[in-house]
Structure 1
Amino acid sequence: MNAAVRSAVRIGICQGHTIYVVSDGFEGLAKGQIREVGWHDVAGWLGRGGSMLGTKRTLPKTCMEKIVENVRKFNIQGLLVIGGFEAYEGVLQLVEARGQYEELCIVMCVIPATISNNVPGTDFSLGSDTAVNAAMESCDRIKQSASGTKRRVFIVETMGGYCGYLSTVTGIAVGADAAYVYEDPFTIHDLKANVEHLTDKMKTDIQRGLVLRNEKCHEHYTTEFLYNLYSSEGKGIFDCRINVLGHLQQGGAPTPFDRNYGTKLGVKAVLWMSEKLQQVYSKGRVFANSGDTACVIGLRKKVVAFSPVTELKKVTDFEHRLPQEQWWLNLRLMLKMLANYQISLTEYISGQMEHVTRRTLSIEKGF
């Protein structure tokens, strides 16, 4: 996040803009926690984790009048929001309030930044690569701790809300035996099959097992439940341990990918906003009320693209804070195949083709 702020500030200054930064998100914007910054104010931000400006999950609808008042007071003509699902949802609320408040007819852009990777309009959010690296390192150490001990299975809980990206990608990276996520529903029969699979493995020379569970993958099959199930069924064959990674996944310095990715998104976002400001500037003022003046910038396949928030609304599950289509779900069959489940390569390829077909249908529908 800090890399994106740094590049956005400096490119904005190069473009001739007056740059303000807001502390504590939309709540800070409502409270007037706004200050002008210069080139050297963001020096040293590139390699810092977390957010130097602070974050809050407050949505604009709770303080819309004060936000509008400060937009007018500071003569804000463009708003760049860096954050997670709340940032996307907050900008959507501002756009929907344009008919009521003329001050909100400004250019807006969202840079997705969340370890959950659950913002529509991008395949990768800022911070998700760093979080996967942190989770991977923790799981590697957990597995290594079992070296030379009796047969043991580790139940590891990851963060991510309802989004199972962290569990799935980390599971592939560390060779997990299973990864439970909300997007891929599972039943007690699936759990039974997983336990039997691990039991059979432990009867060979393999002495370690690793099971990942996304924090909100199931209302009733909790981490404690999985621990009790595996402990009971594996009694006499293997024992079980729980590890909740928690906020370990949020700490640490950003990876090179996240630093460069954040820098690139900051630059491209400000250049896009500058272009839009020129297009909507007329008669001495900025008036942006079309859908394409409020977008999410993100990496879609290999291209950095801008997606209007009003269009992304159609493909968003707001209850669970998820995009309706997620590319990484294709990887789950591969995870099972590499864990030595009875899944053929043909079944994996057919699963991939099914996703391509669904994606083609979605494009044809205009999504």
Structure 2
Amino acid sequence: MKRIAVLTSGGDAPGMNAAVRAVVRKGIYEGLDVVGIHRGYEGLLNEELRPLLRRDVGGIVNRGGTLLKTARCPEFMDKVYQKKAAEVLKKYDIDALVVIGGDGSMAGAQALAELGVVTMTIPGTIDNDMCGTEYTIGFDTALNTVVEAVSKIRDTTTAHDRVAIVEVMGRHAGHIAVGSGLACGAEIVLIPEKPVPLEDVCRHLDETHRAGKTNSIIIVAEGAYHSYDVCNFIKEHMHISPSVTVLGYLQRGGMPSAKDAMMAALMSEAAIDGLLAGKRNCLTASVNDHVVLLPYEEAKSITYPVSDAWYDLISVLGR
């Protein structure tokens, strides 16, 4: 193995830059040439490749976003484009491709692997909902961002005796909502995995406010309810006028936490060491606080759902 390439794909996540930096510098340390692919699989199809040296990735370890840019590429699901991508990698003498991204990014890497391309995937998504790994790069930073925002919103809800609804990311998984809800002391958390009728939300608010609670935080994962629907329902059924804050892309940005920067380095090291040891087509997964290499098919068979214990504890502590 002489030359590898690296790309970031899908939604950006804090820590992606730290992973790119680690892949480049670890690869060069081991005697490899490293090529950066801009704009994910779209850039691969458009041949947006350039060599990366140590100094090219200087100063990015604590920077959010991704130096390599990213993009979603729906057409990459088509075998025709997958074959074209494999041909591009062959044209530039790429011996292995390191992909940094979520489930969709890993699916692209697996598709290339089936065409004979050697790949490794480093999990990078704030949602922490990727198969095969207990932890994805960017999740801890997103949690801290939400907790910081909610702590400021809580000041106003306390001062004015209000209910605040905070919408967080999580279209299909409620990891951010549950983790941040537990950390910031939210009274109610709504997630797609555990549907709750809005009548029950009103009942919970009525019970706790009758017991002396003067303000509440409701965290809503975007896949559970639209936050304004929750707000309007409460207005219609209670003598409460809640506020709504949609955190949106705020959760994806900013300097990665120490944990995310460290995990990016450790997972990147595992990817390069695995390639040099002859490992092929694996996810660098976090399992029981250890970084391991899991073949794609094995990784796809393992899921880590939201913790029931964490979810139940939020309700216990929020009364």
Normalising by structure 2, we get a TM-score of 0.89
Look up the equivalent residue of 2:238 and give its one-letter code.
G
Look up the equivalent residue of 1:243 and give its one-letter code.
T
8 Å CA contact 2:26, 2:272 repeated in 1: yes
Q: Which runs of 5+ in 1 are unaligned?
A: 99-104, 277-291, 316-322, 341-367
1:214 and 2:218 correspond: no
Q: CA deviation at 1:338?
A: 1.5
Q: 1:64 to 1:148 in 2, by over 3 A?
A: closer
1:135 and 2:146 correspond: yes
SS in 2 for 1:148: helix
8 Å CA contact 2:177, 2:219 repeated in 1: yes
Instruction: Report the RMSD for the aligned CA atoms in angstroms.
Output: 1.7
The correspondence of residues 1-367 of structure 1 with structure 2, limited to 5 A, is: 1-59=16-74, 60-62=76-78, 63-96=81-114, 98=115, 105-149=116-160, 151-186=161-196, 188=197, 191-217=198-224, 221-235=225-239, 238-276=240-278, 293-315=280-302, 323=303, 325-326=304-305, 328-340=307-319
Q: CA deviation at 1:33?
A: 0.6
For 1:348, the equivalent position in structure 2 comes to none
C-alpha separation in 2, matches of 1:195 and 1:38? 57
C-alpha separation in 2, matches of 1:148 and 1:180? 24
The worse-fitting range, judged by mean Cα deviation, of 109-118 and 58-67 is 58-67
Look up the equivalent residue of 2:229 and give its one-letter code.
F
C-alpha separation in 1, matches of 2:41 and 2:301? 24
C-alpha separation in 1, matches of 2:255 and 2:186? 25
8 Å CA contact 1:163, 1:181 repeated in 2: yes
Look up the equivalent residue of 1:6 and give its one-letter code.
R
Look up the equivalent residue of 2:22 and give its one-letter code.
S
8 Å CA contact 1:123, 1:327 repeated in 2: no
String of CA shifts for 1:207-262, please: whole Å, max 9, x gaps. 21011111112xxx432221112122321xx3211111111111111111111111
Q: CA deviation at 1:29?
A: 1.0
C-alpha separation in 2, matches of 1:267 and 1:314? 24
Identity within the alignment, %: 29
String of CA shifts for 1:102-160, please: whole Å, max 9, x gaps. xxx243111111111121111111111111111111111111112332x3111111112
8 Å CA contact 2:157, 2:164 repeated in 1: no
Look up the equivalent residue of 2:170 and give its one-letter code.
G
SS in 2 for 1:154: strand
Size of the alignment, in residue pairs? 301
Moved over 6 A (4+): none
C-alpha separation in 1, matches of 2:88 and 2:151? 48
8 Å CA contact 1:121, 1:312 repeated in 2: yes
C-alpha separation in 2, matches of 1:181 and 1:19? 41
